[in-house]
Amino acid sequence: MSSTPPRIAVVGSLNTDLVIRTPRMPRPGETLTGGDFFIAQGGKGANQAVAAARQGAAVTMIGCIGADDFGAAQRAAMLAEGIDDRGLRTMPGTSTGVAVILLDDDRQNSIVVSPGANAAVSPEWIAECAALLTSSAVLLCQMETPADGVAEAMRRARAAGCRVIFNPAPASWSAQSLVALADILVVNESEAAMLSGFTVIDEGSAVQAAEALAARCAGGVLVTLGGRGLVARVAGTTSRHPAFAVTPLDTTAAGDTFVGAFAVAMAGGLPLGEAVTRAQAAAALSVTRLGAQPSIPTAAEVDAFLAATRRPEG
């Protein structure tokens, strides 16, 4: 990889995660006594920014927070990671985004998000942050902020020659029109199914979805399959990448960790296969830890994991 840190801009959400451990998910109308409770910084945009920063990138976060204690904590968390906060706008009279997360004993989670200030990531705010976009090598976008703001960011980045990595999560029909603006599309099974029209239930159907989506975007498609690895369709070639075998504790930020680490590896000049392996290793480490951002590993931790772990075989 290049010795110069790649410059990555992230347009997306910042949420405060309120996490409760529960023996199982409650039924409608049922009250359960849960276990541990903790607060962590989250939001798909912020998670991907932290993942990229911990892998050594120079990261700029573009988004909106509320004028409340949660917002102040979000800004402080970004600065503590060395992330440029000039694109982080504080919205008076608005709450910071919040995610309430239930994590059960089977390591499954259920999440309800209140967007709050994330809804203010508008085309107008993106235009004000244009210089932060055009000076970056890579832009990361998701779908936890309004689609018109995401589209504006993607168009401006592409016009400036900045590679766009689009993770249309959570799955949304409004992402359909944005696929063509992506250089690399990273989707899970449900997102791939919604955007491609193919139900993704196994590796074969993932290949179908990847091929269909690759015909619509500028570069390529990665379809992630959790513990089954992923399928890539890039430059007309399909490849399969098995996952690392780990025992999961909390999968909350696995996808975001993958995206952030993959962006840094690609921006740093690694070939596709090596970039995917490194991102898979980062995601594998993240699921063995609790919380969103607290679970995201550093570059040194990924290096150590790869040195000590046998790489999965295709």
User: What pLDDT, on the 0 to 100 scale, is given for residue 9?
Assistant: 98
Mean pLDDT score of the chain: 93
With H, G, I as helix, E, B as strand and everything else as coil, classify residue 127.
Answer: helix
pLDDT at 2 over 70: no
Say if 98 falls within a structural domain: no
- 35 in a domain, yes or no? no
pLDDT for 314 beyond 60: no
Q: What one-character DSSP code corresponds to residue 42?
A: E
Q: Is the pLDDT of residue 1 over 60?
A: no
**171 is a domain residue:** yes
Supply the residues annotated as catalytic.
Answer: 256
Structure tokens of 124?
A: 């107008």
What is the residue range of 212's domain?
Answer: 7-13+43-93+119-308
- Give me the mean pLDDT over the 51-73 stretch: 98
Angle at the Cα of 221 (from 219 to 226), degrees rounded to 5?
155
| CATH code, 220 | 3.40.1190.20
Residue 213, domain member (yes or no): yes
| Count of the separate structural domains present in the chain | 1
SS3 27: coil
Distance, CA of 236 to CA of 219 (rounded, Å): 9
Tell me the per-residue pLDDT of 68-88, one tens digit each, with 9 for 90 and over. Answer: 999 999 999 999 999 999 999
pLDDT over 60 at 275, yes or no: yes
Tell whether 102 is covered by a domain: no
Decide if pLDDT at 43 tops 70. yes
The answer to whether position 272 is within a domain reads yes
Which letter does DSSP use for residue 97 in this model?
E
Q: What is the pLDDT of residues 125-180, one digit of tens each?
A: 999 999 999 899 999 999 999 999 999 999 999 999 999 999 999 988 999 999 99
175-229 pLDDT per residue, tens: 999 999 999 999 999 999 999 999 999 899 999 999 999 999 888 999 999 889 9
Instruction: Note whether residue 206 is domain-resident.
Output: yes
Residue 314 domain-assigned (yes or no): no
